[in-house]
Amino acid sequence: MGGDFAPAREVEGMVQALRAAHNEFEVILVGREEAILEELKKHDMQGLRYSVVNASEVITMDDSPTAALKQKRDSSLGVGMRLHQEGKADAFISAGNTGAVLSASTLILGRVKGVSRPTIGTFFPSEKGVCLLVDAGTNVDCRPQHLYEFGVMGSIYFSKMFKKDRPTVALLNVGEEKTKGNEVVLEARKLFEASTLNFIGNVEGRDILKSTADVVVCDGFVGNIVLKFGESVPTFLRARLKGVAERGLLKKLIVGLAKSTLKAALSDMDPNEHGGVPVLGVNGVSIIGHGSSTSKGIKNMILKAAEVAKTQLNKHIEEALANSPVPPVKPVLQVAR
Amino acid sequence: MGGDFAPAREVEGMVQALRAAHNEFEVILVGREEAILEELKKHDMQGLRYSVVNASEVITMDDSPTAALKQKRDSSLGVGMRLHQEGKADAFISAGNTGAVLSASTLILGRVKGVSRPTIGTFFPSEKGVCLLVDAGTNVDCRPQHLYEFGVMGSIYFSKMFKKDRPTVALLNVGEEKTKGNEVVLEARKLFEASTLNFIGNVEGRDILKSTADVVVCDGFVGNIVLKFGESVPTFLRARLKGVAERGLLKKLIVGLAKSTLKAALSDMDPNEHGGVPVLGVNGVSIIGHGSSTSKGIKNMILKAAEVAKTQLNKHIEEALANSPVPPVKPVLQVAR
């Protein structure tokens, strides 16, 4: 119910997902029953496997994540996540408030053993495929060990999604040399070097779109800024092309062609194609999508949830961290003076 | 001599600059005299105001900045910068090793009173004009006061370059809200709010290309990564368009049109148009350009140096910091245990 167009797109997307997957799974719709039933009337639901669970409250995009979770006890997010935690569902998806989904995932599902900070990665298109940037905005202040954990989780997620053993992992930095970087990254590099990851060293900002590494690790402050910068590029290009089009009719025609060609060339940058991203490091499968997800976006999120649920991602993350030569994060002790 | 195509492009660019500025200034070429004289033969130098000062050594792109400055006492960089420091030149430009030019600027020219860290900004094109991102890679670990100083210097530089009083200044962050950000940015925001800058609050990664603020402040780690990511976008687009062109002859034609239209729309993103960036906060005018600068790039760097030299940038920076309500950076004391 927290998405920008809920529950219309959610119901539409569910119908598409069930058809595409030939009813391989069942979808539980969680939210205001009346509104959901109203949407269901618009579709031919004959033979589709779904059910509805009522939840009277909605966490909005403006709500403070943790406060909303406590105050709105009967929110679709809370109720849905608990269904997953209780084993009544194998995965959870939401196009709602990202911070709230992240908090609910951590608080209700709990962390995978060995993980100190759950994280979210994001896929960038790259010249030869995709690049997973992790953390994409979850943890803004990080210690070196946190970056290392993001690398472990990102590597496992990438390997499962693209059936690639030992994907290449790199640290996002200001230069390739070992001596380059801020204090946290300089320390983190030593941990990656001591690890069993397929670590290829530092990469720079220009390497993200260049297919230099499969997984690029950074803190959530840098990740969020690069992600949002990248997302703004198509709008910027359209604005620039519009400027050219104003110079005459022929230009207008050529710009029209240029725009549609560019759109075709960048079609895989549409977040609705990705089907959202999982919260990595929590005991469950929790997929977060854009608030403005289309029905296709919702469909792809559901299909991704089913795919991730089959990979036993969390078991692999737990094993990798347990067998890691890099020691776990030590808690920072608060010493009373 | 440190540029990728020195001294050919440097001499060519100088000829173009002198012609464009109608000999308004004189250019001193510093470097291996023989090589420079050889290049000069290729041009009609009749009536142009220039001279040559010999320097036998070259700091290369691979040299470690501070070590090279000490070891290569007769480098073109060191000799040229000292000519400026001694008042024999009003400005210095180089397309050489960025780190070395930065070190030489700080060590030879010294810092402007009140400045704790000299910095370099970079211009991004934006929907309605340009955005100055500062720091663009100079200082990777920053304290809140450093970010504030970057804001002061960036604001003055922007106002002088674009004749705009009180340009808008913003902090690059992961959200607009006051509570968003990492520890350094949260503290920095308080300093900006207490200042007399035209501070408009936080902006996100997507705002850089959107003309939300004239000057966007970040540490050099984030700045370098965003800058290099941005620089990689045109190459990525070309690679993607090439993929579309491979799908047939008509597509190939349309992609050709799309590419040239895109190039026209993005012409001001060419770093050779900008004419390099000044090192802000040093006692002098030191302009750094891309190693791969074309002769047009060199020409524009020389013209920019002449322009910056006229603005009394440093006097304004010193005054702004002396009259600032924000206290200067306190040195970190090393306490022996």
Rounded CA gap, A61 and B297, in Å? 47
Output the CA angle A133-A211-A147, nearest 5 degrees. 30
What pLDDT score was predicted for residue B249?
Answer: 77
Provide the residue count of chain B: 337
Instruction: Residue A94: name the closest of A67, A130, A55 by CA.
Output: A55
What pLDDT score was predicted for residue A337?
Answer: 46
- With cut-offs at 50, 70 and 90, classify the pLDDT of residue A335: low
Percentage of chain A exceeding pLDDT 70: 97
pLDDT digits (tens, 9 = 90+) for A181-191: 999 999 999 99
- The answer, yes or no, to whether residue B333 has pLDDT greater than 60, is no
What CATH number was assigned to the domain covering residues B117-270? 3.40.718.10
- The answer, yes or no, to whether residue B337 has pLDDT greater than 60, is no
Alpha-carbon dihedral B241, B247, B250, B253, rounded to 10 degrees: 30
Rounded CA gap, A106 and A119, in Å? 10
pLDDT digits (tens, 9 = 90+) for A281-293: 999 999 999 888 9
3-state secondary structure of A287: strand
Tokens of B22: 């109608």
Q: Is A204 in contact with B182 (Cβ distance < 8 A)?
A: no
What average pLDDT does range A148-166 have in this prediction?
A: 96
Q: Residue A244 is nearest to which of B207, B233, B264, comparing CB atoms? A: B264
pTM assigned to the model: 0.90
Q: Residue B174 is nearest to which of A208, A224, A235, comparing CB atoms? A: A224
- The answer, yes or no, to whether residue A202 has pLDDT greater than 70, is yes
Rounded CA gap, B91 and B302, in Å? 9
Assigned superfamily of B1-115+281-313 = Isopropylmalate Dehydrogenase (3.40.718.10)
3-state secondary structure of A146: helix
Element (H, E) at A50: strand A50-54
Tokens of B142: 């920053």
Domains B1-115+281-313 and B117-270 share a fold: yes
Rounded CA gap, B48 and B15, in Å? 8
What pLDDT score was predicted for residue A234?
Answer: 84
Q: Is A231 in contact with B206 (Cβ distance < 8 A)?
A: yes
In chain A, residues with a C-beta closer than 8 Å to the C-beta of B220 are 174
Assigned superfamily of A1-115+281-317 = Isopropylmalate Dehydrogenase (3.40.718.10)
Instruction: Residue A27: name the closest of A43, A7, A50, A1 by CA.
Output: A50
- With cut-offs at 50, 70 and 90, classify the pLDDT of residue B189: very high
Alpha carbon B63 to its chain centroid, in Å, reads 20
Tokens of A258: 């240029």
Rounded CA gap, A108 and A282, in Å? 9
Residue of A nearest to B264 (CA): A244
Residue in this structure with the two tokens 């030939």, named with its chain if needed: A22
pLDDT digits (tens, 9 = 90+) for B304-319: 999 999 999 999 999 9
Q: CB of A52 within 8 A of CB of A28? A: yes
pLDDT digits (tens, 9 = 90+) for B254-285: 777 777 777 777 776 677 777 889 999 999 99
- With cut-offs at 50, 70 and 90, classify the pLDDT of residue A25: very high
pLDDT digits (tens, 9 = 90+) for A84-109: 999 999 999 999 998 999 999 999 99
Residue in this structure with the two tokens 């230099």, named with its chain if needed: A212
Q: Is A244 in contact with B228 (Cβ distance < 8 A)?
A: no
Backbone angles phi, psi at B54, to 5 degrees: -75, 140
What average pLDDT does range B140-157 have in this prediction?
A: 96
Q: Is A261 in contact with B240 (Cβ distance < 8 A)?
A: no
Element (H, E) at B68: helix B65-71
- The answer, yes or no, to whether residue B159 has pLDDT greater than 90, is yes
What average pLDDT does range B280-293 have in this prediction?
A: 94
What average pLDDT does range A289-306 have in this prediction?
A: 94
Q: CB of A123 within 8 A of CB of A274? A: yes
What pLDDT score was predicted for residue A290?
Answer: 87
Residues 6+ apart with CB under 8 A from A114: A317, A318, A321, A322, A324, A328
pLDDT digits (tens, 9 = 90+) for A308-334: 999 999 999 999 999 998 877 776 555
pLDDT digits (tens, 9 = 90+) for B92-123: 999 999 899 999 999 999 999 999 999 999 99
A165 CA to chain B: closest CA distance, Å? Answer: 26
Residues 6+ apart with CB under 8 A from B140: A174, A181, A182, B219, B220, B221, B224
What pLDDT score was predicted for residue B247?
Answer: 74
What pLDDT score was predicted for residue A235?
Answer: 85
What pLDDT score was predicted for residue A250?
Answer: 77
**Mean of all residue pLDDT scores within chain A:** 91
What pLDDT score was predicted for residue B334?
Answer: 53
B202 CA to chain A: closest CA distance, Å? Answer: 12
Rounded CA gap, A150 and A325, in Å? 15
Tokens of A137: 């905005």
pLDDT digits (tens, 9 = 90+) for B50-85: 999 999 999 998 888 889 999 999 999 999 999 999
**Right CATH for A120-270 from 2.30.30.280, 3.40.50.1820, 3.40.718.10, 1.10.220.10:** 3.40.718.10
Q: Is B208 in contact with A229 (Cβ distance < 8 A)?
A: yes
Q: CB of A109 within 8 A of CB of A81? A: yes
- Whole-complex ipTM: 0.89
Q: Is B237 in contact with A265 (Cβ distance < 8 A)?
A: yes
- The CA–CA distances, whole Å, from B105 to B76, B112, B311 equal 13, 11, 18
The region, left, alpha or beta by phi > 0 then psi within -120 to 50, assigned to residue B281 is left
Least confident of A59-73, B21-35, B210-224: A59-73
**Mean of all residue pLDDT scores within chain B:** 91
- The answer, yes or no, to whether residue A113 has pLDDT greater than 90, is yes
In chain B, residues with a C-beta closer than 8 Å to the C-beta of A143 are none
Q: Is A257 in contact with B254 (Cβ distance < 8 A)?
A: yes
Residue in this structure with the two tokens 């997957």, named with its chain if needed: A21
What average pLDDT does range A114-121 have in this prediction?
A: 95
Rounded CA gap, B272 and B218, in Å? 24
What average pLDDT does range A1-5 have in this prediction?
A: 93
Domain boundaries, chain B: 1-115+281-313, 117-270
Higher pLDDT, B239 or B185: B185
Mutate to test the interface with A, among B147, B232, B255 (most CBs of A within 10 A): B232
In chain B, residues with a C-beta closer than 8 Å to the C-beta of A257 are 254, 257-258
H runs (alpha helix) in chain A = 8-20, 33-40, 65-71, 76-85, 98-104, 144-161, 183-194, 220-245, 249-265, 271-274, 295-311, 313-322
Rounded CA gap, B203 and B169, in Å? 10
What average pLDDT does range A224-238 have in this prediction?
A: 90
Q: CB of B76 within 8 A of CB of B35? A: no
Q: CB of A283 within 8 A of CB of A1? A: no
Tokens of A8: 């219309």
Instruction: Residue A291: name the closest of A137, A99, A97, A105 by CA.
Output: A97
Rounded CA gap, A51 and A28, in Å? 5
